[in-house]
């Protein structure tokens, strides 16, 4: 009968003491290099400014672990990569735990307390689990290699839209080499582990405690059987095992030593980035601290430590690159490349023990590692990049902070400068007198209350485009009519309302934003109401998420939730069910920013429309191109606009009749794109409000306000 304690694997079997000492020396050296590399990386973060977390570390840690263990952020929109990464992660984690378990017994418990457990049934199950882990690891790595080598998704080609071929940092070959080196190193470690196991089994086949239990290591046993069939003798297997032992061990130790300075560091940086994720990263931009010398970021040392960590967390997966509307339409912007450029800059400037001269810290420009002005102004701040990033990199706040510096220096399109000046002077982007903000109400057959003078249940914050743009004024009048017919007690701020400031803030004009927010908060505070409704998702976002930082806490809803309630309660009754074949465009600030996906779709069902979703919808909706102040800046002549790209996507829907929007800027952008893509006459762009009006009663067309009164 075999003694259970002999059913184990003797570490360093057959090795001389000198060889063991050499191995431990190399091992400690690898650990030393690991800790030194980790220190040089962490040292960068000391140069970042303070970041105040909410302090809920236990909850943040639990959220981070849930995201990592479930892989939910990696599965989204790339299930193949998510599944393969799951195999790699769990395979690697189990193998790491297995190695740590051996170390715990052999180097700690056994010499210090005489405790042993790595034998008998524990050892056999241990071997089986680690064999399965090795198979998982190899399977995941094999798919990732197939994906990069044969499928070759465009997002992994690392082509830079913000650099020309002659620019010194346009070539990203080094990243591709690093990716392949990472995959091959892990694959060699895993494969040589199985070959090593097979050689050991053949070498010790005369030992029953080894050979009789070989199938508890199925792949290792199969390798041993193949070696036997190939005629490998026990002596030959012993020699192979000795050579392979050193190759496998040195490769694994080298892998450990290089973790902090290679792609592998994302194991730590991505975890930390997920732990300190800001759930309102782009919805609620940060205020400028009173003690901050500059409004925005000019130097790499202006970044806070969390943002420097974000730069290191990026895994170059390209999901933000793929989702970005600017990149998709040929603009010189890839969110991934912004992050990688800044990472390269930070590594160069901050990894030394002391800071170089200030001029070397400027992150603006076209030198290696810097970000060009054209790149920053291409961003629509639509949050597609932030929303899809599997490791919680927050691109938009970084871009806006860098824009703040450009605004402060006056480095922007002249038309944008003029628009900001107009808003500062008149309180709206159309340059109209404040007294004319509610001129559209004059054509209505009923009065609308002034919420400053008498109390109302619902205060309607209308917004610039809904107030002054002639096409949107008709929608505004229609919504007022629906509220009146439903018996809603509502009112306006009239000339006391100003531009809400959402896009002004995302342009980077923080000072003007604070003026606008302060004026609106004061006006709202002087009115008597229970809740706010707005037809403008941009206003909805900033009032809901950003005004509280300035003391303005209000209950606010987008009009779609109010209309849904009025239809459900019967206060608005569908008398003419529609049968249009429709598709719905999710506005960025209603959808991605505030998760308002369901109400518009429920309304379409309530009024009898057929809804056909576009491929990019809900959290993957494609920006119309108006966000981040881009509606005030013309796109380059001859380039495709995001709205045109989106309309072409909708045009592929067979039999489409109505392209439905629920945002004034969307209506403007998409009606123009319908014409410029030669799709006029094939289908129409309609505001959801207009469809509700058509379904609940005979259309009532109040006279449009002439021009921009």
Tokens found for residue 531: 């809740």
* Residue range 459-481, pLDDT digits in tens: 999 999 999 999 999 999 999 99
3-state helix, strand, coil in the chain (%, to 5): 60, 5, 35
| Residue 555 and residue 593 in contact, taking contact as beta carbons nearer than 8 Å | no
pLDDT for the residue 698? 53
| Residue 83 and residue 136 in contact, taking contact as beta carbons nearer than 8 Å | no
Report how far Cα 577 is from the mean position of its chain's Cα atoms.
Answer: 39
Residues 6+ apart with CB under 8 A from 139: 84, 87, 91
* Residue range 617-643, pLDDT digits in tens: 999 999 999 999 999 999 888 889 999
| Residue 57 and residue 280 in contact, taking contact as beta carbons nearer than 8 Å | no
- Is residue 358 over pLDDT 70? no
* Residue range 400-411, pLDDT digits in tens: 999 999 999 999
User: Coil, helix or strand for 501?
Assistant: coil
- The average confidence (pLDDT) of the chain is 94
Q: Which domains does the chain have, with CATH numbers?
A: 57-273 (no CATH), 279-412 (1.10.1060), 417-696 (no CATH)
pTM score:
0.93
**Cα–Cα distance list, 413 to 225, 301, 416, 634 (Å):** 72, 27, 5, 9
**Cα–Cα distance list, 551 to 155, 280, 456, 525, 528 (Å):** 42, 18, 22, 10, 17
Q: H helices within 204-304, ranges in order? A: 208-211, 218-229, 234-258, 266-275
Strand 610-611 relative to strand 684-687: parallel, antiparallel, unpaired? Answer: unpaired
Q: How confident is the model at residue 456 (pLDDT cuts 50, 70, 90)?
A: very high
Which of 688, 387, 435, 400 lies closest to 560 in space, CA to CA? 688
- The DSSP symbol for 461 reads E
Q: 75's torsion region: left (phi>0), alpha (psi -120 to 50) or beta?
A: alpha
Q: Average pLDDT, stretch 607-614? A: 98
pLDDT for the residue 708? 32
End-to-end Cα spacing for the chain = 101
Q: Average pLDDT, stretch 491-498? A: 98
Which of 343, 291, 372 lies closest to 49 in space, CA to CA? 291
Which backbone phi and psi does 655 adopt, to 5 degrees? 75, 15
pLDDT for the residue 295? 86
User: Coil, helix or strand for 531?
Assistant: strand
User: What is the Cα Rg of the chain in Å?
Assistant: 31
Q: What percent of the chain has pLDDT over 70?
A: 97
Residues 6+ apart with CB under 8 A from 553: 547
Residues 6+ apart with CB under 8 A from 708: 430, 432, 436, 468, 469, 470
Q: How confident is the model at residue 294 (pLDDT cuts 50, 70, 90)?
A: confident
| Residue 347 and residue 44 in contact, taking contact as beta carbons nearer than 8 Å | yes
Which of 411, 628, 434 lies closest to 520 in space, CA to CA? 434
* Residue range 229-272, pLDDT digits in tens: 999 999 999 999 999 999 999 999 999 999 999 999 999 999 99
- Is residue 412 over pLDDT 60? yes
CB atoms within 10 A of CB 21: 11
User: C-alpha dihedral over 325, 331, 336, 342, to 10 degrees?
Assistant: -140
Q: 365's torsion region: left (phi>0), alpha (psi -120 to 50) or beta?
A: left
């Amino acid at each position: 009968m075999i003694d259970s304690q002999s059913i184990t694997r003797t570490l360093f079997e057959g090795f001389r003491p000198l060889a063991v000492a050499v191995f431990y020396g190399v091992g400690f050296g690898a650990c030393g290099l690991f800790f030194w590399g980790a220190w040089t990386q962490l040292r960068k973060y000391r140069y970042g400014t303070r970041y105040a977390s909410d302090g809920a570390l236990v909850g943040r840690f639990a959220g981070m672990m849930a995201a990592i263990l479930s892989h939910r952020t990696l599965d989204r929109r790339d299930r193949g990569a998510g599944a393969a990464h799951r195999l790699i992660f769990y395979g690697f984690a189990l193998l790491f735990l297995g190695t740590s378990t051996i170390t715990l017994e052999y180097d700690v418990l056994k010499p210090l307390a005489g405790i042993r457990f790595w034998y008998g049934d524990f050892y056999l199950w241990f071997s089986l689990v680690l064999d399965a882990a090795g198979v998982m690891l190899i399977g995941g790595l094999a798919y990732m290699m197939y994906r990069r080598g044969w499928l070759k998704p465009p997002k992994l080609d690392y082509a830079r839209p913000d650099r020309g071929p002659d620019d010194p940092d346009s070539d990203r070959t080094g990243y591709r080499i690093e990716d392949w080196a990472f995959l091959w190193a892990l694959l060699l470690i895993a494969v040589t582990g199985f070959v090593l196991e097979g050689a050991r089994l053949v070498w010790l086949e005369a030992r029953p405690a080894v050979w009789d239990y070989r199938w508890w290591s199925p792949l290792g046993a199969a390798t041993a059987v193949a070696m036997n069939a190939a005629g490998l003798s026990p002596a030959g297997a012993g020699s192979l095992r000795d050579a392979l032992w050193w190759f496998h061990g040195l490769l694994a130790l080298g892998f450990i030593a290089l973790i902090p300075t290679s792609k592998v560091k994302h194991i730590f940086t991505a975890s930390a980035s997920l732990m300190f994720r800001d759930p309102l990263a782009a919805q609620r931009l940060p205020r400028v601290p009173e003690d901050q010398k500059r409004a925005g970021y000019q130097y790499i040392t202006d970044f806070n430590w969390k943002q420097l960590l974000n730069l290191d967390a990026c895994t170059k997966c390209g999901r933000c690159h793929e989702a970005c509307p600017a990149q998709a339409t040929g603009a010189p912007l890839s969110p991934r490349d912004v992050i990688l450029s800044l990472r390269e800059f930070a590594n160069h400037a901050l990894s030394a023990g002391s800071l170089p001269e200030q001029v070397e810290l400027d992150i603006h420009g076209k030198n290696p590692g810097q970000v060009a002005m054209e790149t920053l102004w291409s961003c629509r701040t639509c949050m597609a990049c932030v929303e899809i990033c599997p490791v919680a990199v927050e691109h938009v706040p970084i871009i806006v902070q860098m824009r703040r510096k450009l605004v402060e220096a006056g480095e922007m399109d002249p038309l944008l400068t003029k628009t900001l000046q107009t808003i500062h002077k008149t309180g709206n982007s159309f340059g109209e007198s404040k007294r004319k903000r509610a001129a559209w109400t004059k054509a209505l057959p009923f009065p609308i209350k002034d919420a400053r003078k008498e109390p109302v249940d619902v205060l309607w914050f209308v917004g610039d485009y809904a107030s002054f743009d002639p096409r949107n004024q008709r929608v505004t009048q229609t919504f007022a009519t629906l509220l009146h017919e439903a018996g809603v007690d509502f009112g306006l701020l009239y000339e006391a309302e100003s531009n809400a400031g959402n896009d002004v803030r995302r342009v980077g004009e923080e000072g003007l934003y604070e003026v606008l927010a302060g004026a609106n908060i004061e006006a709202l505070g002087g009115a008597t109401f229970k809740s706010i409704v707005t037809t403008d998702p941009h206003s909805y976002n900033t009032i809901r998420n950003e005004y509280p930082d300035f003391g303005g806490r209000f209950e606010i809803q987008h009009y779609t939730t109010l209309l849904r309630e009025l239809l459900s309660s019967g206060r608005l009754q569908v008398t003419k069910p529609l049968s249009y074949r429709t598709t719905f465009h999710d506005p960025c600030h209603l959808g991605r920013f505030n998760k308002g996906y369901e109400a518009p779709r429920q309304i379409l069902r309530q009024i009898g429309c057929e809804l056909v979703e576009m491929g990019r919808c809900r959290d993957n909706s494609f920006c119309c191109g108006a966000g981040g102040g881009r509606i005030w800046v013309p796109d380059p002549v001859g380039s495709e606009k995001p709205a045109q790209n989106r309309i072409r996507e909708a045009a592929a829907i067979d039999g489409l009749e109505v392209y439905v929007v629920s945002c004034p800027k969307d209506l403007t952008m998409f009606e123009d794109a319908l014409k410029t893509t030669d799709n006029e006459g094939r289908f129409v762009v309609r505001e959801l409000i207009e469809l509700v009006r058509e379904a609940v009663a005979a259309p009532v067309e109040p006279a449009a306000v002439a021009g921009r009164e």
